[in-house]
Structure 1
Amino acid sequence: MSAIDFSNPATIAFLTEALTAAGVNGLEISRPGGQLRIIVAAKSGARIGSTEATPRAPGSSMAVVKAPMAGRFCVEHPAASAAPQDLPRSVSDADIVGFVGVGHILLPLRAGGSGVLTRQLAEPGALVGFGDPLFEIELPS
């Protein structure tokens, strides 16, 4: 039996549709180096989640926001009419700094720490893989 590629957007979309059709509330898969969680809510559809920001290096004052799944990277919500914010800018741990989308599902990317969002590491619309670095946040010292 071959291993399933949980970083493939088509695999995630298929799992989401299968869970919804089967009436299953959710699924969580943990592996070394990552975790995939799909939660199916009756009113709002599926929600996919994972860890959000991880430290760059021990003792470092930078954090990196990584892609929690494979998909298309968006800086702004596709339905947003506001102009994108320039960098650098201050963020709090709960701020949404971007999105990763698979089909009609958008996963918000939270800053995960308060500080200054200094760099965007992926181009808008780019296909990103699980764990790809997307943003750098300078943490207060």
Structure 2
Amino acid sequence: MSAIDFSDPATIAFLTEALTAAGVDGLEISRPGGQLRIVVAGKDGARISSTGATPPAPGSASAVVRAPMAGRFCLEHPISATPQNLPRAVSDLDIVGFVAVGHILLPLRAGRSGVLTRLLAEPGALVGFGDPLFEIGLPS
């Protein structure tokens, strides 16, 4: 029996649709370094959540926001008309981008307060679980 590739966007989209069709409340997948949770929430569709920004290394003045799952990286919400300019100040709860899996958008939270300084992935690129997306400069 071969292992299921949980980093494949098509697999995640299939699981979400199958959970919804089966009337299942949700699914949680834990791996070393991350966790993925899909919760089916009635007529609002599915919510996907996972771990956020990587903690900074000791002595480091920056943190990296990593992809919590595989999908297409979106810098802005598809219906947003406001471009995201860098550098810009962010709080730990600010949404700094999205990972799209089919028609589902997973918001990416900064996870740390600081200055969003660098974009580490191209908007529209296919990203995998754990891929670096942003760098946040932390206050000293």
TM-score using structure 1 length:
0.95
The corresponding residue for 2:74 is 74
Is 1:10 aligned to 2:10, yes or no?
A: yes
CA drift at 1:85: 2.5
Structure 1 position 90, deviation (Å):
0.2
- Deviating beyond 6 angstroms after TM superposition, the runs of 4 or more aligned structure 1 residues are none
The whole-number CA distance in structure 2 between the counterparts of 1:85 and 1:127 is: 19
Quote the offset at 1:56 in angstroms. Answer: 3.9
**Mapped partners of 2:39, 2:30: distance in 1:** 14
- CA–CA distance in 2 between the matches of 1:138 and 1:44? 35
Aligned to 2:33: 33
For structure 2, the 5+ residue unaligned runs are: none
Task: Report how far residue 35 of structure 1 moved.
Answer: 1.3
Matches within 5 A, 1:1-141: 1-82=1-82, 84-141=83-140
CA drift at 1:34: 2.1
RMSD (CA atoms): 1.0
User: Which runs of 5 or more residues in structure 1 are unaligned?
Assistant: none
Between the aligned partners of 1:58 and 1:105, the Cα distance in structure 2 is 35
SS of the residue 1:78 aligns to: coil
Identity %: 84
Letter in 1 for 2:59: G
Per the normalisation by structure 2, the TM-score is 0.96
Count of aligned residue pairs for this structure pair: 140
